[in-house]
Amino acid sequence: MKRFPLLLILFVLAVPLAAQVNGNLQYIGDKAILHVWGDHYQRGHAQGYLLAQPTLEVFNDFFYMMFVFSDPARYAYLWNYYQEHFDTDPRLSQEAQGLIAGIAASGASLYHSGLQREITHDDVLLANAFLDLQQLRNDLGDADVDFGCASLSSWGISTQQDSLLAGSSVITRWLDWTLYDCLIDNPLLVVHHPSEPDEQKWLTFTFPGWLGAASAISETGIWASLNVGSDHSVVNQSGLDPIFFDIRRGLERTDFNGDGSSNIMDVCAAIQAGNNLTGTIIHSLSENAGQTLAVVIENNNTGTALRYHDDPNSNLAGQNLAATNHFRLLTFPSCCTRYANITDSLNVSHHITAKRQWSLMSGAAGQDTNLTALQYTPSTGSILWAGAMVSLPAYQNAAIHLSASDLFSFSTPVADANLPSAPFTFSCAPNPLATAQALKLRGSQPLVSFTIYNLRGQKLWEQSFSGNRTETEISLPTLPSGLYLARAQSAAGASAQRKLLIWP
């Protein structure tokens, strides 16, 4: 991707936008800002069309070459594991399909010489699960990819002496990953304007082709950022979810946990509802009507623990909460130099301004592998975003200033009817299903009914749903072992069918 010398001048990409592409791509210096709107398929299509070459570059240079070591056998191993153990969200599957269709529509070639075939949406989904597959990859004897990260949030008594914050919250986050050229050259902010009735606008600091959330903000002001954890114990390898997708669902759904409000507990619920293969630490923050909520979600395949600032394991002065790459609650606390440095700095003074927080994190947790540096102030919507250069970590580079309210107020055209939406799909897991085992349903649109038929087409059982739910868990009646047809119907009147195998 071409770099521009001026950081603060906005450039509009000189690409003719076809009427059927629901996207707008702009640049501030070397940083791309992409607005996408419509349903998941349309948003994926826009990203694929407008960022075709960068998407292919990141897939090949980062995932295939760096993560898989350009080894078709390793790729096939990870592919087969994903197909066997992961349960793909139908909405994200549609978005990946749209991404591939958009790349093809742009005229770019999907053929991959290493795979000796065209890239499909399944390859996109596999690449989006790279963090979940990290330990599995390492078990093959491959060297670790550096997935560091650190974050610090402050509010209340720690910010009340600052005339600008006056008790409101601020969070600073370092994304510390190996500085691959394809990532340094392609910093991307995607702002989603969804048309689904149960979704809200959200934005993510990411890279082309990545559909989940590693550092993201919802329109209601929920922040979530991910670090890799220190314990990757595994007890259940069925029905796995990519952690980036779980975080996205918690931010993107208007009220994931159904409690009537949009806050950090939606992120917690989305992660707790999933099943993740790799240990992760998610820092989430929200502020509404002057009330700040902050939590560190420590998560791995064995369970989830929620750590708050007043937990003894947090061990920080004032109202501050930090996350690095070591569990402090889910498992026995392990040593982390960066966490100890943050603790020492706050013991000197727990009082924080936005400027001091950035400076404190630079000294206490700054690393040469800092790929992206971010700071977010929910009360004002202020965002600072800095990226790395080949010889300069992001936190030492000049940051650009953005406004969350400006990004979310971007005016999107009415969706063009010439671009068809993807058809309704649903998934059911586990499948095969043991007798009397609960069945988890996920639909790409709100579900209104689920019906079981035998292979002769006779209806055996039906259940109706209400409340615009796209995910639910049901208990089936006792049925003999065998193969059945399962049909789901959406609120829009569309239906889809899958085979369901019931074991004894």
**Within a domain: 195:** no
Give the CATH number of the domain where residue 236 resides: 3.60.60.10
Q: Using the 3D structure, point to which of 381, 408, 435 is the last residue of a domain.
A: 408
Query: How far, in Å, CA of 51 to CA of 46, rounded?
Result: 8
Q: In a structure prediction context, what are the per-residue pLDDT tens digits for the chain, which is 504 residues long?
A: 333 333 333 434 334 344 479 999 999 999 999 999 999 999 999 999 999 999 999 999 999 999 999 999 999 999 999 999 999 899 999 999 999 999 999 999 999 999 999 999 999 999 999 999 988 887 776 666 778 899 999 999 999 999 999 999 999 999 999 899 999 999 999 999 999 999 999 999 999 999 999 999 999 999 999 999 989 999 999 999 999 999 999 999 999 999 999 999 999 999 999 999 999 999 999 998 889 999 999 999 999 999 999 999 999 999 999 999 999 999 988 778 999 999 999 999 999 999 999 999 999 999 999 999 999 999 999 999 999 998 899 999 999 999 999 999 999 876 454 555 677 888 888 888 887 788 889 888 889 899 998 877 778 889 998 877 888 889 888 888 888 889 898 887 777 888 888 887
**Within a domain: 24:** no
**Within a domain: 438:** yes
Query: How far, in Å, CA of 339 to CA of 331, rounded?
Result: 16
**Within a domain: 419:** no
**Within a domain: 383:** yes
How many CA atoms within 13 Å lie on the side-chain side of 147? 23
**Within a domain: 331:** yes
Q: Are strands 31-38 and 188-194 parallel, antiparallel or unpaired?
A: parallel
Reduced DSSP (H G I as helix, E B as strand, rest coil) percent helix, strand, coil of the chain, to 5: 25, 30, 45
In terms of domains, do 439 and 379 share one? no
Q: Using the 3D structure, point to which of 382, 408, 434 is the last residue of a domain.
A: 408
DSSP state of 177: B
In terms of domains, do 158 and 273 share one? yes
**Within a domain: 136:** no
Number of domains in the chain: 2
Residue type, 304: T
How many CA atoms within 13 Å lie on the side-chain side of 166? 5
In terms of domains, do 376 and 304 share one? yes
Global confidence as pTM: 0.83
Neighbours of 446 (CB within 10 A): 19
Task: Enumerate residues 6+ apart whose C-beta is below 8 A from 332.
Answer: none
In terms of domains, do 244 and 330 share one? yes
In terms of domains, do 367 and 400 share one? yes
Segment holding 138, helix H or strand E? helix 134-139
In terms of domains, do 366 and 464 share one? no
In terms of domains, do 496 and 370 share one? no
In terms of domains, do 375 and 461 share one? no
Give the CATH number of the domain where residue 461 resides: 2.60.40.1220
Look up the domain containing 492 and give its range: 426-503
Query: How far, in Å, CA of 20 to CA of 413, rounded?
Result: 11
Q: Using the 3D structure, point to which of 352, 380, 408 is the last residue of a domain.
A: 408
CA 124 to chain CA centroid, nearest Å: 14
For the stretch 428-432, contacts whose Cβ atoms lie closer than 8 Å and that sit 24 or more positions apart, written own/partner, are 428/486, 428/498, 428/500, 429/87, 429/238, 429/239, 430/238, 430/239, 431/498, 431/500, 431/501, 432/501, 432/502, 432/503
**Within a domain: 226:** yes
In terms of domains, do 342 and 439 share one? no
In terms of domains, do 301 and 329 share one? yes
In terms of domains, do 352 and 471 share one? no
In terms of domains, do 345 and 388 share one? yes
